């Protein structure tokens, strides 16, 4: 994907890369027993890194019109928005976080042998509502909750709502991962399949094309999965072309 000059170190990801530098460094230290010094980890403490960490794992501004990120105040009693200056009280944050924790424990207690997807959706939507009040729109926690809701909706074959949630996750994937990343490609693929099934052929072609552009690089083109994806894309294109010509 890019030119690698002679003698340059080639780097790979050992762990999930969508996380703050502190979280990634902790995971690498515990699981692989080393301190990473890659270009991204080396930015620890710099303004851009602090901002990114606050977005991924921190709290949102109380103002709906502000997209600023929050940092702890000097007196430790709250978190101040770096955009508009509004302060969120520490106790308010603690209250919402406690509610989320209790609901998360309730969701985790659903027996796997008799898993109730309707119940899981109900609880996770309550968690989602609280998380939208507490976290940044690009928060990892919010994205993970929406993924759980999406999975349950897919299991119940609630396709229209599943598509709505799949589309909600795409901006996070686009922001958190490189343009060519298998997780982003697979999310496009899921969206494309749902759009096609629901009759939105033009959007399906767009999503499946994006999926193919990514996954042909990360997965190659000779696997059964990729052959199936490329076949779906061709069929969707043919259907879209037929619909367009019928209108004319």
Task: Note down pLDDT in tens along the chain; length 248 residues.
Answer: 778 899 988 888 899 888 899 999 999 999 999 999 988 899 988 999 999 999 999 999 989 888 888 999 999 889 999 999 999 999 999 999 999 999 999 999 888 777 899 999 999 999 999 999 999 999 999 999 999 999 999 999 999 999 999 999 999 999 999 899 999 999 999 999 999 999 999 999 999 999 999 999 999 999 999 999 999 999 999 999 988 888 76
CATH 2.10.109.10 fits 179-248, yes or no: no
Q: How far, in whole angstroms, is CA 53 from its chain's centroid?
A: 15
Per the CB < 8 A criterion, the answer to whether 19 and 56 are in contact is yes
From start to end of the chain, where are the E strands?
A: 70-72, 78-81, 87-89
| Three-class SS state of 76 | coil
Per the CB < 8 A criterion, the answer to whether 62 and 40 are in contact is no
- What phi and psi, each to the nearest 5 degrees, are found at residue 65? -85, -10
Cα distances (Å, whole numbers) of residue 114 to 21, 102, 117: 38, 21, 9
Angle in degrees, 0-180, between the axes of helices 47-57 and 140-155, rounded to the nearest 10:
40
pTM: 0.90
């Amino acid at each position: 994907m890019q030119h690698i000059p002679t003698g340059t170190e080639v780097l790979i990801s050992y762990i999930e890369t969508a996380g703050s530098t502190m979280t990634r460094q902790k995971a690498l230290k515990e699981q692989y027993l080393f301190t990473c010094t890659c270009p991204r980890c080396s930015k620890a403490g710099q303004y851009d890194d602090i901002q990114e960490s606050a977005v991924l794992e921190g709290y949102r501004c109380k103002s709906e019109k502000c997209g600023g990120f929050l940092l702890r105040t000097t007196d430790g009693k709250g978190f101040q928005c770096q955009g508009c200056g509004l302060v969120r009280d520490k106790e308010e944050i603690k209250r919402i976080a406690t509610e989320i924790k209790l609901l998360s424990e309730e969701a985790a207690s659903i027996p796997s042998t008799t898993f109730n997807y309707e119940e899981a959706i109900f609880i996770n939507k309550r968690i989602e509502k609280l998380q939208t009040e507490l976290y940044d729109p690009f928060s990892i926690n919010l994205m993970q909750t929406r993924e759980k809701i999406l999975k349950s909706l897919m299991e119940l074959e609630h396709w229209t709502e599943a598509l709505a949630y799949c589309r909600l996750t795409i901006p996070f994937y686009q922001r958190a991962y490189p343009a060519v990343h298998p997780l982003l490609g697979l999310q496009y693929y899921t969206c494309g399949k749902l759009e096609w099934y629901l009759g939105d052929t033009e959007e399906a072609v767009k999503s499946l094309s994006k999926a193919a552009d990514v996954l042909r690089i990360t997965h190659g083109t000779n696997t059964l999965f990729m052959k199936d994806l490329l076949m779906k894309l061709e069929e969707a294109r043919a259907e879209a072309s037929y619909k367009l010509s019928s209108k004319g």
